[in-house]
Amino acid sequence: MAQTLEDILLNPANRPTVITDLQHLVDAEVSDKNGVSGAVIKTGYTAVKKIKPGIVESAMNRMLPEFADALEPFYGEYRATGGNDFGAFLTARSDAAADALLNVTDERAQHTSSDAAKKVYAKLRPNGKKNVEEALPRLGQLIDRHAAGA
């Protein structure tokens, strides 16, 4: 088993599959949203993808090293405790894990040159923590799958 998230997620042989899997994860999370806030998220996500086709893949590829760094302390603790479900591990630490991931996206959003992307992010950000927390089980499972194959 690979030792770090960098080994697992950033390995050039695996990275394209990781990016594709992350895109599917985001698509599934957006698709699962319901109600008024779900409609806002779906509309915003569709708008961003329409403004710049390929943006999700591009963003995942650019931010993956930072996401791996943000999650590394959690993954190190998970491995040290002999865990077998990183999604459950992250969910048990959802507040801190979501904050770590959102720090990455907040920083990126602050420095983007796209005013449209900034506007959409600003609209989605108030519910961002809740949405990231809801995605943690799938994210952990995705990482576990790639770790098993590393």
Tokens found for residue 67: 């996401």
What would the pLDDT profile of 128-147 be if each residue is shown by its tens digit? Answer: 899 999 999 999 999 999 99
Domains of the chain, by residue range, sit at: 5-149
Cα-based distances in Å from 31 to 21, 27, 101, 139: 15, 6, 20, 15
pLDDT of residue 113: 86
pLDDT of residue 2: 52
pLDDT exceeds 70 at position 150: no
**Cα of 16 vs its chain's centroid, Å:** 15
The predicted model gives 31-46 an average pLDDT of: 87
Radius of gyration of the chain (CA): 15
Q: What is the pTM of this model?
A: 0.87
What would the pLDDT profile of 53-78 be if each residue is shown by its tens digit? Answer: 888 898 899 999 999 999 999 999 99
